[in-house]
Amino acid sequence: MKFPDDADNIRYDARGKGVIVGYAGAKQLRKRQEGTGGLGFLDANGKKTGDIVIDAHPESFQLEEAGTRLFVNVPDKNEIEVIDAVKRTVLARWPVSFQSNFPMALDETHYRLFVGCWMPPRLLVFDTATGKEVASGEIAGPTDDLFYDARRGRVYVLTSQGFLDVFQEKDLDHYERIARYPTPPHTQTGLFVPEWGKVFAAAQQQGEQSAEVRVYQAH
């Protein structure tokens, strides 16, 4: 399946048994004026079943498992767009107080959405019931990946400055940084596997530093 441009985020939709792809160039594709970003919906056979045009290129997005909403980071507009994944319509636009909101994680059970911003580097927490920002914390640098650990009530943030920041939930509106572990510079993408309690971090090749995957165990 071809998309117009920059298809760089993908999620599996367990409810619809399909795949959702974030991409750019929707205005060109659809000849519409609403926006320049899009989400494409594919069925289990790879056939496109529809798409949603959004305000600009989407970065990370998260899909509810029990509900039908999609939360989409749209950094060019400093907003989070909330999408009805079944009706495929835009439900709301939540303003983001800092710039370059790229990664995102969801605590669906407690109605909390975690967003990483680059300028300045911050972890933001939104109440998904109201769309309001309820907490904010400084992180070591720009981030492309962050993860929510439901078992421990923690958020792990990989940053380009060479640190893995760990935040502990004190209550639903308060999160405290409890650790900052060194990583190779520009180690800002990875994977968290909840069943293993492990963060896998991708380190780039930099001078004498070889490309490698580092593994961090949660305790």
Domain residue ranges in the chain:
1-95
Residues 117-132 pLDDT 10s: 999 999 999 999 999 9
Spatial neighbors of 15 by CB under 8 A, at least 6 apart, are: 65, 68, 85
Please give the model's pTM, rounded to 2 decimal places.
0.92
Tokens encoding 32: 């519409």
**pLDDT above 90 for 159:** yes
Q: How far apart are CA 99 and CA 122, in angstroms?
A: 9
For residue 26, CA distances in Å to 7, 31, 34, 41, 78 come to 11, 8, 9, 13, 19
For residue 109, CA distances in Å to 9, 71, 154 come to 23, 15, 14
What is the arithmetic mean of pLDDT over 203-218? 89
**pLDDT above 60 for 64:** yes
Tokens encoding 3: 């998309």
Spatial neighbors of 102 by CB under 8 A, at least 6 apart, are: 59, 60, 73, 75, 116, 117, 118, 142, 143, 144
**pLDDT above 90 for 1:** no
| Element housing 136 (H / E) | strand 132-138
The residue type at 170: K
**pLDDT above 70 for 29:** no
Provide φ and ψ at 20, rounded to 5°.
Answer: -115, 130
pLDDT at 145: 96
CB burial of 156-175 (b: ≥16 within 10 Å; e: otherwise) equals bbbbbbbbbbbbebeeeeeb
What is the arithmetic mean of pLDDT over 56-85? 95
Residue 46's pLDDT band, with cuts at 50, 70 and 90, is: confident
pLDDT at 141: 95
pLDDT at 69: 97
Compute the mean pLDDT over every residue in the chain, rounded to the nearest whole number.
91
Task: Confirm if 41 and 61 have CB atoms less than 8 A apart.
Answer: no
Tokens encoding 75: 């950094």
Q: How far apart are CA 40 and CA 51, in angstroms?
A: 4
